[in-house]
Amino acid sequence: MGADAAAVSLLRFETPGAGFEQPFAMLAACHERVARSLDLLQRLLEHLDLVGHDEQARAAAHDVWRYFELAAPAHHADEELHLLPLLRQSGDAHLVDVARRLQADHDALRAVWRALGPLLWKVHAAPSALTPEDSQRLRAQAAAFIAIHEQHLPLEDDVAFPAARSRMLPEQLHVMSNDMQRRRAPP
């Protein structure tokens, strides 16, 4: 792939749609966006190797930073406030363990993000200030971030979401929907 093709490949991006009236569809759409953002992060690293710190790299770094800095915390809050308690209270030892693992993943993702986020911001805002050590840390933190998500997302999609959905009463679903909407409302 030539440099121009690498640069153009960073520009692919679609936003999945779902409304607050269907909170589980919205959670699934968020996972699609997480997967797209992780893919963009991986393509950004490849682009940096092939092309370097150009405008497309700066824009891609900003897009990844923006999603994981602004949207992902609301998504984790949705799960931690509405889904994980249902799993913990289920009386099912497997689901209780799933809730524990998911919370541990969220904590690990936040810890990795504290290192990765500023590095992505630097790629976006001050690429000339990136040191070789920064570039190595960027790759290591990105690899850790992607690896945690690779085990985390299927556990939520295949186990946690269906289990929580089947245990959620209509009024709980309504509260969850309203809470998700409130959390994402502009200030």
Model pLDDT for residues 11-45, shown as the tens digit of each residue? 443 444 567 778 999 999 999 999 999 999 999 99
CATH code that applies to domain 18-33+73-184: 1.20.120
Asked whether 54 and 44 are in contact (CB, 8 A), the reply is: no
Residue 15 is predicted with a pLDDT of 40
What are the tens digits of pLDDT across the range 55-100?
A: 999 999 999 999 999 999 999 999 999 999 999 999 999 999 999 9
pLDDT score at 137: 98
Give residue 13's region: left, alpha or beta (phi > 0; psi -120 to 50): beta
Tens-place pLDDT, residues 132-187: 999 999 999 999 999 999 999 999 999 999 999 999 999 999 999 999 999 888 87
Name the 3-class secondary structure at 65: helix
Provide the greatest CA pair distance for the chain: 55
For residue 136, how many C-alpha atoms fall within 13 Å in the half-sphere facing its CB? 3
pTM of whole model > 0.85?
A: yes
Q: Taking residues 1-16, report their average pLDDT.
A: 43
